[in-house]
Structure 1
Amino acid sequence: MPNLDICAAQYCSVAGDLNANIDRHAQLMRLAAQHSVAFLLFPELSLTGYEPSLARDLALSADSERLQPLRELARQSGMTTVVGLPLRQTDQQEIFIGALVFAADGSQTVYTKQHLHPGEDAVFSAGQGGPLLSIGSEQIALAVCADFSHASHAQAAAQAGASVYAASVLISDNGYPRDSALLTGYAREHSLGVLMANHGGPSGGWACAGRSAFWSPQGQRVVSAAGTGDCLVIARRRQGVWQGQTVQYPAAS
């Protein structure tokens, strides 16, 4: 079984400030690249914060030039990177909760959140998901927050051939016990590695739990952030065995 290095970027978004968040994403990407990460996952709506009331004004198209620094950094570092943003399709009024994938080879794909939380449909439209991502010999399936609350979503990922289920989320302190139990169960039931990237600080009025994590295909929590704040949560597979590492990052000034 080949080596694999994957990472959740636990991140404290600056509400509504695309420029600040793009710069901060780039800093965390460079740090992850220094640790030889092959796949980096940011939380839901990481580039804007979870701010539905601002989302229509902040929404970008997938080919937006504002995101070129992140595209280029992913290519230069050879590190496939997934960022979250309100996504506007060309010539359409609808906006989606998107996960934009900047691949290591310079290509780009899009995942749109399929299952919305109550109230999100006042701003966002339900999406269509997206393709599996190839990282070396691995197939990674994406999920965005409420997607994983539907057991059929993880089941479909496993049936499609995914070996890793990567969830970009906003999970509150109150919701963490239930949601982490769901993800643990998917890992064990479907023999999936499960990577979860959560917000590291308040967003959209929610007290986010942090505690981003990775669970092995046996359902063992291999590594987790201790709490909130910006950090990298890295899972490494060596000779079939998963090990974890956390790397702290200074808070934004």
Structure 2
Amino acid sequence: MLAWSIAAAQFAPQNGSLAENIVHHLRFIRAAAKLECKVLIFPELSLTGLTGESGLPSPPGIDQLQPLTDAARQHQITIVAGLPVEENGQRSKGVAIFSPDTAKPYTCAQGNGTCLTPESRYISVFNLNNDGCDLSPQASLLATLTSTAESQQSLNTQRLQWFARKHAIAVLKSNYSCDNFSGGSALWDETGQLIVRADQGELLVTGRKSAQGWQGDIIPLR
């Protein structure tokens, strides 16, 4: 089996400061690259920070995201970050997917998670709908970007563990570590077994898949 190293960033955003958040993202990307990770995910709205009473900010332009596009290519790592997207005049939570092989990120609504596989560059966004589950049979990992408060952690954990077990797919979750957010970034294997889970702090939750299964670690950001 092809070995595969992945990571989830658990960090505190700079609300409303795209430039500062991009710099912060780059710190995590460099740390993940040193660990030879091929996938790195961030929490939802990671590029703009958590929203306030005014709602979602304007989506950033593609040119503003160029540092992350360059980093994905330089380090040969797929990056999934959170940002607002706009469609038909309506803003919603979305994802920007930076691939080593593309000149600009792919952006779309966040959905229920991003599906990835180590054997190819296949990436898609997964949604639950009225017809059921559109999870791709090619997917090896569901990466979910959350901003889950401490009071919601237990329910969120149960849901993701159930999903991993039901669909026989590993699940990687990235969450914030600030204010009321108690961390909880984690990785579950294809049976729903918890491999690694973080508490408070800015860090990387890492997972490595080999013929022996998944191994996890927690790497503090220095």
TM-score past 0.5 threshold? yes
Q: What's 2:219 paired with?
A: 247
Q: What's 1:119 paired with?
A: none
Q: Count how many residue pairs are aligned between Structure 1 and Structure 2.
A: 221
Q: What's 1:102 paired with?
A: 98
Q: What's 1:136 paired with?
A: 119
Check whether the contact 2:117–2:141 (CA below 8 A) recurs between aligned residues.
no
**How has the CA–CA distance of structure 1 residues 155 and 88 changed in structure 2, closer, same or farther, with 3 Å as cutoff?**
closer
Structure 1 residue 112 displacement after superposition: 0.6
Instruction: Give me the TM-score of the superposition, normalised by structure 2.
Output: 0.89
Structure 2: how far apart are the matches of 1:80 and 1:29? 10
Structure 1 residue 94 displacement after superposition: 2.6
Instruction: Give me the TM-score of the superposition, normalised by structure 1.
Output: 0.78
Structure 1: how far apart are the matches of 2:162 and 2:188? 10
**How has the CA–CA distance of structure 1 residues 179 and 56 changed in structure 2, closer, same or farther, with 3 Å as cutoff?**
closer
Q: What's 1:229 paired with?
A: 201
Higher normalized strand content (fraction of residues)? 2
Check whether the contact 1:21–1:47 (CA below 8 A) recurs between aligned residues.
yes
Structure 1 residue 219 displacement after superposition: 1.0
Could you give the per-residue CA deviations for residues 161-189 of structure 1, whole angstroms, max 9, x where no partner exists? 32211100011111000110110111111
Q: What's 2:134 paired with?
A: 156
Structure 2 counterpart of 1:196, one-letter code: K
**How has the CA–CA distance of structure 1 residues 241 and 45 changed in structure 2, closer, same or farther, with 3 Å as cutoff?**
same
- What aligned pairs does 1:174-193 form with structure 2 within 5 A after superposition? 174-193=151-170
**How has the CA–CA distance of structure 1 residues 154 and 5 changed in structure 2, closer, same or farther, with 3 Å as cutoff?**
farther
Structure 2 counterpart of 1:185, one-letter code: W
Q: What's 2:72 paired with?
A: 74
Structure 2: how far apart are the matches of 1:153 and 1:242? 32
Structure 1 residue 208 displacement after superposition: 1.1
**How has the CA–CA distance of structure 1 residues 244 and 85 changed in structure 2, closer, same or farther, with 3 Å as cutoff?**
same
- What aligned pairs does 1:48-87 form with structure 2 within 5 A after superposition? 48-54=48-54, 56-61=56-61, 63=62, 65-87=63-85
The one of 169, 181, 194 equivalent to 1:208 is: 181
Check whether the contact 1:139–1:163 (CA below 8 A) recurs between aligned residues.
no
RMSD: 2.5
Higher normalized helix content (fraction of residues)? 1
Check whether the contact 2:186–2:205 (CA below 8 A) recurs between aligned residues.
yes
Check whether the contact 1:2–1:240 (CA below 8 A) recurs between aligned residues.
no
